Each structure stands twice: as C-alpha cells, then as structure tokens.
Amino acid sequence: TQARPKFRRLAWRGGLKVLLRRLPTLQRKLAVIVTFASLVALSLSYVFSGVDDVKNSRKLVVDQLESFARILGTNSASAIAFKDVDSARRTLGALEGRSDILAAAISLPDGKTFAAYPRALERHGFAPPPPGERGTVSGRFIDGKLTLARWIREEQEDIGYITLTADLHPMWAAIYERFAVSGVGVLLAFVVAYLLARRMQQSLTQPIASLAAAARSVATHKRYDLRVSTPVDNQEMVDLV
C-alpha cells in the first residue's frame, strides 16, 4: 500500500513527460507547462480555502450554540430553583424565531426533562454533559445536525443542564454557495492567467521560431543572405544567433 502513492506520482510525471514529447513546438510545450502549473496552484488554493471555510463555519456554529446555551441557562436558573416549569418554557420559547434551532431542553441533574422546546420533547430524556463549564458537542458535522449540552450552574452548583440541537443545512447551503462563487472566480483567474502567459511566452518563443525558420531556409534553399533580428534584452538568443 505504501508503494501506491509513489506509483501515482511517477505515473503523473511520466504522463506529463510523454505529453510534452508529443507536442511538436516549444510554444505548445510552454503553454502546457504554464497551464498545468496554474491549474495546480489554483486548485490547491481552492481546496485549502474551502477546508478553511468549513472549519470556520463549524466553529461559528459551535460558538453560537455555546452562547445560546449560556444565556438560556442563566435565564432559566431561577426557574429550576423554584421549580417553575412555565417560566422555563417561556425562556426556551424565545428560540421560536430561530429556524436553525431544531430543539432545546432543560434537564435536571438526574436526567429528567424539566422543560423542552418544542414541548413534545418533554417526554424524552437527554444525556447530560461531562463535568465542566463549557458545552459538549455531539453528533457528526456532516449529518446535518449538531447537539450541544451545557451545565446550568447556580452558586457553583450544577442544578441542571441545557441541550440545544442545531440544523446545519442552512450552514451547508451557505458553504456550497461560497464554493460555487469561489469556483467561478478560480476559473476566471485560470483563464486570465492562461491568456497572459500565452501572450508573454510569445516574446520567448518567437525569436527561436524565427531562428528555426531561417535555419530551414538556409539548409533547403541555400539562402545565406538571411539575417535574424534578436532582441537586445535576450542575451541567450544573441549568443545562439
């Protein structure tokens, strides 16, 4: 299995070398090299920016859930202390305007659900988080849901915990939209880089092409009177002529 990556690298190199050998002119070979290098560079930039975007989006969702859990837990601490279920329900009802929050529940330390949003979830139990002040995230990021559980503390004592479940589909939709926009930008950048490289490479290949044409005329038609003009800023071409 360790030989497979090496074999693939060799196959890539060998395929590129074969392609360059089959191209008849230096200009086309330079075009392939520049195009391949630009494609690799832009593709790597696109992939790394995409991975960073997903990572930052995940952190943003977790931070938002942590903030919601901390605020809701603080506001519901007195309701738990006085066993005021209606007050706890009203606190969770503030999430009704958040379409990205699928469910929320306040549970007692023994695991019994004290209040939930929607209320139908009060018949369900929610696993408590491990000891600690920060929330514990569960659920895979690619499954479309993310659950965070956080202890509710009152005078340094855990009097309950809150559980929030977020819908990740809006986040993924935004990521896909940014991927599409970035992909169009990368494609445009590739086209511009290719056109600029093609235009600039003519300054390198045109003198060589002129020299080759003059050499063929001398060899075929005995035109010893031909002269090839060389750019003064290209010392290698001057030496070659």
* pLDDT, tens only, 109-141: 988 999 999 877 877 777 777 766 555 776 666
The residue ranking higher by pLDDT, 240 or 112, is: 112
pLDDT of residue 2 exceeding 60 = no
Cα 25 to the center of its chain, rounded Å: 39
* 125's tokens: 């139990």
* 8 Å CB contact between 23 and 29: yes
Element housing 46 (H / E): helix 26-81
Residue 3: its pLDDT value, please? 47
* 8 Å CB contact between 89 and 119: yes
Strand, coil or helix: what is 103?
A: strand
Claim: this prediction has a pTM higher than 0.85: no
Please list, in sequence order, all residues whose beta carbon lies within 8 angstroms of the beta carbon of residue 131, skipping any fewer than 6 positions away: 151, 158
pLDDT, tens only, 61-103: 989 988 999 999 999 999 999 999 999 999 999 888 888 899 9
Please list, in sequence order, all residues whose beta carbon lies within 8 angstroms of the beta carbon of residue 32, skipping any fewer than 6 positions away: 19, 20, 23
pLDDT, tens only, 183-224: 999 999 888 888 887 777 666 666 666 666 767 776 776 666
Block residue for tokens 């696109």: 46
